Structure 1
Amino acid sequence: MSIQNTIPSDAADVIIIGGGIMGASAALFLRERGRSVILLERGLVGQQASGVNFGNVRRQGRYLVQLPLSNRSYGIWRRLSSLVGEDCEMIHAGHLRVCIRPEQAAKVEAYALEAKAYGLDLELLNSTTLRQKFPYIGREAVLGSYSPLDGHANPRLVAPAFGRAARRAGARVEENTEVLSIVKTGEDFHVSTRGGAGFRAPTLLITAGAWAGSMAASLGEPVPLVARGPQMGVTEPLPYRILPSLSHSSPHEHETVYCRQVTRGNIVFGGGQRNEVDLVRVRAYPNPESTLNQMPQLQRLLPGLANVRIIRTWSGIESYLPDDLPVMGPSGKMPGLYYAFGFCGAGFQLGPGVGDVMAELIDTGATTTPIESFSITRFSVERSHV
C-alpha cells in the first residue's frame, strides 16, 4: 500500500496505544482499509488481559446491548485461521450455562427469549435432558442453556497472531514501548515514549485496558475505572470428553465459576472473587484462598473434579466500569481521539469485533454496529448531575 511511502517513519494515519486483542486486530483491519498504523505496546503484544484470560468465545450471557457487537465478532472468529494464518486452538464446540438455583434459572429462560431477537438461538435443557446430553454435569443442576455456535480458544495465542498478521499487512508494531505522554498540537497527536522515541498521527486510538483510564483522564475525560485480577487455574490432564466451555450462572459472585477442557486434557478454570492488582509494577497476584473457594463450586458443576490435581494458578489485570459496559467510540471532547477499553472481564470474544468496528469508525466516520451505549460521554453526563 503506497500510503506508507509518503509518511515519515515516526508518523502514520493512526496511532494505537495498547497491543491486546483489540489494538492488534484494529491495526490489521485499518491496514486492510489502507490506513497506515503504528501500534505501541509497553510490553509484548497480548501480554496483559488479552493473554491471561479464560479464553471464552461466547455470546451467551452478554448484555443484550452488546449482542450486535458480539455477533459481528462471532463472524470474525469463524474465519480466524484464514484471517491470521493460525488456528489459535479455536474450538467451535458451544457454551453451556448451568443453573443450580431455580430463581436464576427463571432469569436464564427469560434471557433466552430476549436474545432470540438478536439472532442468538439458545437451547434450554431441563435437568433430565441436560444430564442426558452432558452426563458429566452435577446433580444439583436444574437448567442448562446451550449455545451450540459458541466456543473457546487459547488466549495466549490470539492477540500475538493478530499482531503478526497486522505486521505482515504493513502495520508498524512497536513492542517494549511505554507511552509517557500524549499531547495534541494542531491536527496531530504527539506521543512520547520511554527511551525517547516520539510518534505522531492525526488519529489516536487508545486500547490500553486498565491503563487507559489514566490516559483518558490526562486528555480531559476521566472515567471511574477500576482494575482487578481474575483468578485462573489449570488442572492435570484428564481424559478428553468436555467439548463446550461451561459456566455456572448464579446471582452470587463466589458461585460464578467457569471452565473448559483443552484437547491435551487439562481443564482451565476461573471465576469467583477478583484479586487486587498493582498497575505501577504491572503485577496481579494469585490468591490461594480464591482457588480454595473455586474448587467446591467447580465440583458442584463437575463432580468428577473432586480429586483432580491443580498444577498452576495465575491472575491478570483487567479493567471494570460501574455499569459493566465498556468505553468504546469517539472522544466527547477531542476530534481524532477514539477509545476502546474497560470491557469488564468479558472482552476476549468481543475483541476482533471491536477492532473491526473501530477500524470502520475511524475510516468512514460511522459504524454499522450500534455502539452508542458505550460512549465515554455517559460519565461526563453523570458527573454533571452530581
Structure 2
Amino acid sequence: MNESAQVVGMGVAAPSGLSVEDYWAAVLAGRTSIGPVTGFDASGYAVRLAGQIGDFDAAAHLPKRLLPQTDRVTRLALATAASALAGADIEGAEMDSFDQGVVLANAQGGSEFTHREFRKLWTKGPAEVSVYESFAWFYAVNTGQISIRHGMRGPCGALVGEQAGGLDAISLARRRIIEGTRLMVTGGFDSAFDPWGFLSQNSHGRLSQATDPRHAYRPFDRAVDGYVAGEGGAVLVLEAGSSARRRNAPSYGEIAGYAATFDPRPDSGRPPTLRRAIELAMADAGVSTVDVVFADSAGVPELDRIEAAAIGDVFGHRGVPVTAPKAGFGRLGAGGGPVDVLTALLSMRDSVIPPTPHTTDVPEDYGLDLVLDAPRERRVDTALVLARGYGGFNSALVVRKNAEEGQDG
C-alpha cells in the first residue's frame, strides 16, 4: 500500500510565539497578539493594526553570512525549519540527501528587502543596489535557502499562493512521500510589513479598520468587519511511515487527506465549491466525520456565511466543534494554513480544542458550534483544516492520529 506521510517534526514563528510550546500556550489562553503596526509610520494608513512578531532576533538563529542575503520572511523560514528538523531528530538517521526535499508556499515574496533595494535604485542609483536582490525577493528563495542549508537535494518546490497555498504545499509534500521520497520539509510563510507591502495587503479592502485589537478580527461574529493581516508561518517535517517506524520516530499525526477546488465566478449562478473540497478531502482520508474543524474564518460577512453553510451542509447544524485561533494573531497569508495544521496536531496530542478569541455573537442561522471563551477538552483523533485564497481558491486538509500503526507501509 501507499506510504503514509507522518509529521515527525514541527516549528512555528507567529505573533503568538516563536516556539511550539510558547505558541500553544498563547493560543490555549486565547491571548491577543494583535497591535499597532510597527517598523514604519502607519499613521497615514486607514488600517493601523497587524499581527507582527516582535522579538525575533535573526542573528541569534542564523549564520552571519546569511543576514545580508535574506529578507525577513526567509529568516523566519530558516529559523523555523531548523527548529522543526532538530525536533525530528534525523541527525543519525543516515538519510541520503537525494531522499530529502523541501516544498514551501509564499505569497508576497521578500517584500521588505526588495522595496528597500528599489528605494536605493531610485534615490542613489544602480550601483547601490544589493547583488542579493537578484534572488532575495523571489517566492522560491525560502525553499532554496532551506534546502541548501540542510543539504536536501531531493524533490523541491515553491507554491505562490496566499492562505490556501500553505495547505497546497503540504499536500504536494505528502504526494512526494507517497511517491517514494523519504523525508519532506513543508509549510508556508509570509511577511510584508514595509510601507508598500502593507499597502498591497489592503488592496482588496478586506482588512479591518478597527483601532481596538479586541474588535479588529472577529470571525463569524455578527459585527465582523474584516480581518487583520499577520506575519509568520509553520514548518512540518513529513517522513514516510515505514521510515519513521524503523527509527522509532515519534509522530504527531498523519497528513491523511486533501482536496482543492475553485469557485465559479460570482455572477455565474453556480454555488461556491468549499463544500466539495471538504467532501473530497474526507473521501481521500477515508473518514466520514472529524472531531474538529479549524476554519478558514475570512472575517468578511459574506465569506463567513459561505463557510458556515459548507460546514453545516457536511456535518449538520452544530454537528462538529469549529474553531479559529488565528483571530488572536491574524491571517498569515501562505503561513496561515500550516499554522492551523500545527495547531490541529497539538489539539490531537493534548485532547483539547483552543478557543476563538474576540468573537462573541455568532448568528444562530450560521449553525456553528464555535468554540468560544475557553478551551474545550475533547478527544481529537481527526481534524479538518480549511483555507481559502483570494479569488476563489479552496483547500481542505485532514490530519489523523495514529494511523496505520504497526503497518509496514
TM-score scaled by structure 2? 0.24
- Indicate the structure with greater strand content: 1
TM-score scaled by structure 1? 0.25
